[in-house]
Amino acid sequence: LPRLRYDQLMRFGWKVLLPIALGNIVVTSLLAYIFPNA
């Protein structure tokens, strides 16, 4: 496993992990809106 520099790790977090987290929030809120009592 190659070592990651700090800037590479930060770029990975901003480019990959943040959009995944935001998409997770959107999907969860849409599901809670569509199925309110599930």
User: Tokens 């770029």 belong to which residue?
Assistant: 11
Contacts of 38 (CB under 8 A, 6+ apart): 31
Give the lowest-confidence range in 2-6, 19-23, 26-30, 32-36: 2-6
Helix (H, G, I), strand (E, B) or coil at 34: helix
Question: Hey, what long-range contacts does 22-28 have (CB within 8 A, 24 or more apart)?
Answer: none
What's residue 38's pLDDT?
Answer: 80
State the Cα–Cα distance between residues 26 and 30, nearest whole angstrom: 6
Is the predicted pLDDT of residue 2 greater than 90, yes or no?
A: no
